A = this chain, B = another copy of it.
Amino acid sequence: MTQPDWIAGEWAQGHLRLWQMAADDTVLAQMAPAPGRDAAEALARLLPELAPGVPVLISGAADLPFPAVPCKPPVMARARDGAGGLHLLPGVAQARPADILEGEETRVAGFLALNPRFDGVVCLPGAQSRWVHVSAGEIVSFRSFLTGTLGRLLAAPEALGPALGTGWDEAAFLEAVDQAMGRPAGFAGDLSAILAESRLHDLSPAVALARLWGLLIGMELAAAKPYWLGQSVAILDEGETAARYRAALAAQGVPAVLADGARMALEGLKRARREAKP
Protein backbone atom coordinates (compact mmCIF):
# COMPACT_ATOMS: atom_id res chain seq x y z
CA MET A 1 0.00 0.00 0.00
CA THR A 2 1.17 3.53 -0.79
CA GLN A 3 2.58 5.43 2.18
CA PRO A 4 0.30 8.46 2.88
CA ASP A 5 1.74 11.94 2.52
CA TRP A 6 -0.52 13.28 5.26
CA ILE A 7 -3.62 12.31 7.20
CA ALA A 8 -6.83 14.38 7.34
CA GLY A 9 -9.30 13.95 10.18
CA GLU A 10 -12.51 15.31 11.65
CA TRP A 11 -13.76 14.92 15.20
CA ALA A 12 -17.53 15.39 15.22
CA GLN A 13 -20.15 14.31 17.77
CA GLY A 14 -18.02 11.59 19.32
CA HIS A 15 -16.87 10.18 15.98
CA LEU A 16 -13.40 10.46 14.49
CA ARG A 17 -13.14 10.22 10.69
CA LEU A 18 -9.69 9.81 9.14
CA TRP A 19 -8.52 9.93 5.53
CA GLN A 20 -5.05 8.77 4.41
CA MET A 21 -4.04 11.28 1.74
CA ALA A 22 -1.57 11.11 -1.19
CA ALA A 23 0.70 14.04 -2.00
CA ASP A 24 -1.74 15.11 -4.74
CA ASP A 25 -4.61 15.14 -2.19
CA THR A 26 -6.33 12.04 -3.52
CA VAL A 27 -7.75 9.76 -0.81
CA LEU A 28 -5.76 6.52 -0.37
CA ALA A 29 -7.95 5.07 2.37
CA GLN A 30 -10.63 6.04 4.83
CA MET A 31 -11.01 4.94 8.45
CA ALA A 32 -13.88 5.41 10.90
CA PRO A 33 -12.70 4.23 14.34
CA ALA A 34 -15.10 3.23 17.10
CA PRO A 35 -16.94 6.20 18.58
CA GLY A 36 -15.86 7.60 21.95
CA ARG A 37 -16.32 10.55 24.24
CA ASP A 38 -12.89 12.11 23.92
CA ALA A 39 -11.01 13.14 20.79
CA ALA A 40 -7.57 13.13 22.45
CA GLU A 41 -8.06 9.58 23.68
CA ALA A 42 -9.30 8.33 20.31
CA LEU A 43 -6.30 9.93 18.62
CA ALA A 44 -3.79 8.58 21.17
CA ARG A 45 -5.14 5.08 20.46
CA LEU A 46 -4.85 5.56 16.71
CA LEU A 47 -1.68 7.57 16.18
CA PRO A 48 0.73 4.67 16.78
CA GLU A 49 -1.06 2.70 14.03
CA LEU A 50 -0.66 5.48 11.50
CA ALA A 51 2.58 5.91 9.57
CA PRO A 52 5.19 7.49 11.90
CA GLY A 53 6.38 10.90 10.85
CA VAL A 54 3.31 11.53 8.67
CA PRO A 55 1.63 14.80 9.61
CA VAL A 56 -1.99 14.62 10.85
CA LEU A 57 -4.44 17.54 10.50
CA ILE A 58 -7.70 17.32 12.48
CA SER A 59 -10.71 19.65 12.70
CA GLY A 60 -13.22 19.78 15.56
CA ALA A 61 -10.80 18.68 18.30
CA ALA A 62 -8.89 21.83 19.35
CA ASP A 63 -9.26 23.53 22.75
CA LEU A 64 -10.31 27.17 23.24
CA PRO A 65 -9.44 29.96 22.56
CA PHE A 66 -10.70 30.20 18.96
CA PRO A 67 -10.55 33.17 16.59
CA ALA A 68 -13.70 35.31 16.75
CA VAL A 69 -16.19 36.29 14.05
CA PRO A 70 -16.10 37.97 11.63
CA CYS A 71 -13.24 35.86 10.27
CA LYS A 72 -12.31 33.45 7.50
CA PRO A 73 -12.45 29.76 8.53
CA PRO A 74 -9.06 29.18 10.23
CA VAL A 75 -6.28 27.45 8.25
CA MET A 76 -3.43 27.71 10.77
CA ALA A 77 -3.45 24.53 12.85
CA ARG A 78 -1.78 24.23 16.25
CA ALA A 79 0.71 21.44 16.91
CA ARG A 80 -0.31 19.37 19.92
CA ASP A 81 2.52 19.09 22.43
CA GLY A 82 4.12 15.65 22.63
CA ALA A 83 1.93 14.21 19.90
CA GLY A 84 4.42 14.09 17.02
CA GLY A 85 2.99 15.48 13.83
CA LEU A 86 -0.52 16.07 15.16
CA HIS A 87 -2.01 19.46 14.25
CA LEU A 88 -5.44 20.66 15.35
CA LEU A 89 -7.48 23.24 13.43
CA PRO A 90 -9.16 25.70 15.82
CA GLY A 91 -12.90 26.39 15.72
CA VAL A 92 -14.55 29.81 15.66
CA ALA A 93 -16.02 31.75 18.59
CA GLN A 94 -18.68 34.45 18.83
CA ALA A 95 -18.86 36.66 21.92
CA ARG A 96 -22.52 37.86 21.71
CA PRO A 97 -24.65 35.89 21.50
CA ALA A 98 -22.08 33.48 22.96
CA ASP A 99 -21.56 30.64 20.50
CA ILE A 100 -18.92 28.21 19.25
CA LEU A 101 -18.20 26.34 15.99
CA GLU A 102 -16.07 23.22 16.42
CA GLY A 103 -15.38 21.55 13.09
CA GLU A 104 -18.35 23.13 11.29
CA GLU A 105 -16.11 26.05 10.27
CA THR A 106 -13.96 23.55 8.32
CA ARG A 107 -17.03 22.14 6.56
CA VAL A 108 -17.99 25.70 5.65
CA ALA A 109 -14.43 26.25 4.35
CA GLY A 110 -14.75 23.14 2.18
CA PHE A 111 -18.08 24.32 0.79
CA LEU A 112 -16.55 27.74 0.02
CA ALA A 113 -13.54 26.05 -1.66
CA LEU A 114 -15.99 24.40 -4.08
CA ASN A 115 -18.38 27.41 -4.25
CA PRO A 116 -16.07 30.43 -3.91
CA ARG A 117 -18.77 32.97 -4.82
CA PHE A 118 -21.37 31.65 -2.32
CA ASP A 119 -22.95 34.38 -0.24
CA GLY A 120 -25.74 33.32 2.09
CA VAL A 121 -26.43 30.91 4.93
CA VAL A 122 -25.01 27.46 5.62
CA CYS A 123 -27.11 25.15 7.80
CA LEU A 124 -25.22 22.29 9.50
CA PRO A 125 -27.56 19.85 11.31
CA GLY A 126 -26.08 17.88 14.20
CA ALA A 127 -26.14 17.38 17.97
CA GLN A 128 -26.13 21.16 17.85
CA SER A 129 -27.32 22.45 14.49
CA ARG A 130 -25.55 25.59 13.30
CA TRP A 131 -26.77 28.40 11.05
CA VAL A 132 -23.75 30.24 9.64
CA HIS A 133 -24.01 33.53 7.76
CA VAL A 134 -21.24 33.64 5.14
CA SER A 135 -20.28 36.68 3.08
CA ALA A 136 -17.18 37.45 0.98
CA GLY A 137 -15.50 34.23 2.15
CA GLU A 138 -15.92 35.14 5.84
CA ILE A 139 -18.05 33.74 8.64
CA VAL A 140 -20.02 36.84 9.66
CA SER A 141 -22.16 35.43 12.48
CA PHE A 142 -23.77 32.16 13.49
CA ARG A 143 -26.29 30.61 15.84
CA SER A 144 -26.45 27.11 17.38
CA PHE A 145 -29.52 25.08 18.42
CA LEU A 146 -29.46 21.98 20.64
CA THR A 147 -32.01 20.35 18.34
CA GLY A 148 -30.21 17.08 17.52
CA THR A 149 -29.37 16.41 21.15
CA LEU A 150 -33.00 17.09 22.17
CA GLY A 151 -34.23 14.65 19.52
CA ARG A 152 -31.85 11.93 20.65
CA LEU A 153 -32.62 12.43 24.36
CA LEU A 154 -36.37 12.43 23.75
CA ALA A 155 -36.16 8.98 22.14
CA ALA A 156 -35.21 7.52 25.57
CA PRO A 157 -37.53 4.86 27.09
CA GLU A 158 -38.51 7.23 29.93
CA ALA A 159 -39.41 9.97 27.43
CA LEU A 160 -41.13 9.34 24.04
CA GLY A 161 -39.42 5.98 23.40
CA PRO A 162 -42.57 3.86 23.87
CA ALA A 163 -44.45 5.93 21.25
CA LEU A 164 -41.73 6.11 18.57
CA GLY A 165 -41.04 3.77 15.67
CA THR A 166 -38.70 3.52 12.72
CA GLY A 167 -40.97 4.57 9.86
CA TRP A 168 -41.60 8.09 8.64
CA ASP A 169 -44.72 10.06 7.72
CA GLU A 170 -43.85 13.15 5.68
CA ALA A 171 -47.31 14.73 5.99
CA ALA A 172 -47.22 14.42 9.80
CA PHE A 173 -43.72 15.89 9.76
CA LEU A 174 -44.74 18.97 7.75
CA GLU A 175 -47.88 19.45 9.83
CA ALA A 176 -45.79 19.45 13.03
CA VAL A 177 -43.30 21.92 11.47
CA ASP A 178 -46.23 24.27 10.85
CA GLN A 179 -47.63 23.71 14.32
CA ALA A 180 -44.30 24.46 16.06
CA MET A 181 -43.59 27.51 13.88
CA GLY A 182 -47.01 28.94 14.72
CA ARG A 183 -47.14 27.95 18.39
CA PRO A 184 -43.58 27.20 19.58
CA ALA A 185 -44.49 27.57 23.27
CA GLY A 186 -46.58 24.41 22.93
CA PHE A 187 -43.45 22.25 22.56
CA ALA A 188 -43.49 20.42 25.95
CA GLY A 189 -47.29 20.00 25.73
CA ASP A 190 -47.10 18.69 22.16
CA LEU A 191 -44.53 16.10 23.35
CA SER A 192 -46.92 14.94 26.08
CA ALA A 193 -49.70 14.76 23.49
CA ILE A 194 -47.59 12.36 21.38
CA LEU A 195 -47.36 10.00 24.38
CA ALA A 196 -51.08 10.32 25.18
CA GLU A 197 -52.24 9.87 21.56
CA SER A 198 -50.05 6.82 21.30
CA ARG A 199 -51.76 5.25 24.32
CA LEU A 200 -55.33 6.50 23.82
CA HIS A 201 -55.69 6.58 20.04
CA ASP A 202 -52.98 4.15 18.78
CA LEU A 203 -50.98 6.90 17.10
CA SER A 204 -48.70 5.18 14.61
CA PRO A 205 -45.03 5.04 15.68
CA ALA A 206 -44.00 6.46 12.28
CA VAL A 207 -46.31 9.45 12.74
CA ALA A 208 -45.01 9.93 16.30
CA LEU A 209 -41.37 9.99 15.11
CA ALA A 210 -42.13 12.37 12.25
CA ARG A 211 -44.13 14.62 14.58
CA LEU A 212 -41.28 14.77 17.14
CA TRP A 213 -38.84 15.89 14.44
CA GLY A 214 -41.36 18.28 12.92
CA LEU A 215 -41.79 19.97 16.31
CA LEU A 216 -38.02 20.18 16.85
CA ILE A 217 -37.17 21.51 13.39
CA GLY A 218 -40.22 23.81 13.27
CA MET A 219 -39.25 25.40 16.59
CA GLU A 220 -35.69 25.86 15.30
CA LEU A 221 -36.86 27.38 11.98
CA ALA A 222 -39.06 29.85 13.86
CA ALA A 223 -36.05 31.08 15.85
CA ALA A 224 -33.59 30.93 12.92
CA LYS A 225 -35.87 32.90 10.60
CA PRO A 226 -33.54 35.96 10.49
CA TYR A 227 -30.93 33.56 9.07
CA TRP A 228 -32.90 31.84 6.30
CA LEU A 229 -35.53 34.38 5.26
CA GLY A 230 -34.73 35.67 1.77
CA GLN A 231 -31.29 34.00 1.79
CA SER A 232 -29.46 31.43 -0.33
CA VAL A 233 -29.34 28.37 1.93
CA ALA A 234 -26.97 25.41 1.71
CA ILE A 235 -27.44 22.39 3.99
CA LEU A 236 -24.25 20.43 4.76
CA ASP A 237 -24.94 16.97 6.13
CA GLU A 238 -24.48 13.33 5.30
CA GLY A 239 -27.67 11.86 6.79
CA GLU A 240 -31.44 11.81 6.41
CA THR A 241 -31.66 14.88 8.64
CA ALA A 242 -30.62 17.10 5.72
CA ALA A 243 -33.67 16.01 3.74
CA ARG A 244 -35.90 16.91 6.70
CA TYR A 245 -34.43 20.41 6.98
CA ARG A 246 -34.74 20.85 3.21
CA ALA A 247 -38.40 19.79 3.20
CA ALA A 248 -39.21 22.07 6.14
CA LEU A 249 -37.50 25.03 4.43
CA ALA A 250 -39.19 24.25 1.11
CA ALA A 251 -42.56 24.44 2.90
CA GLN A 252 -41.61 28.03 3.86
CA GLY A 253 -40.85 28.77 0.20
CA VAL A 254 -37.07 28.61 0.70
CA PRO A 255 -35.18 26.32 -1.69
CA ALA A 256 -31.94 24.90 -0.26
CA VAL A 257 -29.03 23.07 -1.87
CA LEU A 258 -27.62 19.97 -0.19
CA ALA A 259 -23.95 19.06 0.04
CA ASP A 260 -22.34 16.01 1.66
CA GLY A 261 -21.04 17.14 5.05
CA ALA A 262 -18.17 14.64 5.36
CA ARG A 263 -16.94 15.52 1.89
CA MET A 264 -17.05 19.24 2.76
CA ALA A 265 -14.98 18.48 5.90
CA LEU A 266 -12.33 16.78 3.74
CA GLU A 267 -12.32 19.67 1.23
CA GLY A 268 -11.90 22.11 4.13
CA LEU A 269 -8.99 20.13 5.55
CA LYS A 270 -7.33 19.98 2.10
CA ARG A 271 -7.72 23.75 1.76
CA ALA A 272 -6.19 24.34 5.20
CA ARG A 273 -3.27 22.03 4.35
CA ARG A 274 -2.67 23.87 1.04
CA GLU A 275 -2.97 27.39 2.44
CA ALA A 276 -0.95 26.75 5.59
CA LYS A 277 1.99 25.28 3.67
CA PRO A 278 4.87 27.71 3.18
Contact = CB atoms under 8 A, between A and B. Distances in A.
B100 A145 contact: no
A99 B192 contact: yes
A99 B156 CA distance: 20
B188 A100 contact: no
- For chain A, the bracket of interface size reads 35 or more
B188 A185 contact: no
A223 B186 contact: yes
Interface in A151-183: 153-154, 156, 158-159, 180-181, 183
Contacts of A185: 180-181, 184, 219, 222-223
B128 A146 contact: no
Contacts of A127: 158
A219 B187 contact: yes
Contact of A147 (B144, B188, B196): B188
A201 interface: yes
A199 interface: yes
A189 B145 contact: yes
Nearest to A220: B188
Nearest to A145: B188
A190 to B, nearest CB: 9
Given A185-B184, A187-B219, A199 B100 contact: yes
A247 interface: no
15 contacts: A14-B158, A93-B200, A95-B201, A100-B200, A127-B158, A145-B188, A146-B159, A146-B188, A146-B191, A146-B192, A147-B188, A149-B159, A153-B156, A184-B185, A188-B219
Interface of A: 14, 64, 93-95, 97-100, 127-128, 143-147, 149-150, 153-154, 156, 158-159, 180-181, 183-189, 191-193, 195-197, 199-201, 216, 219-220, 222-224
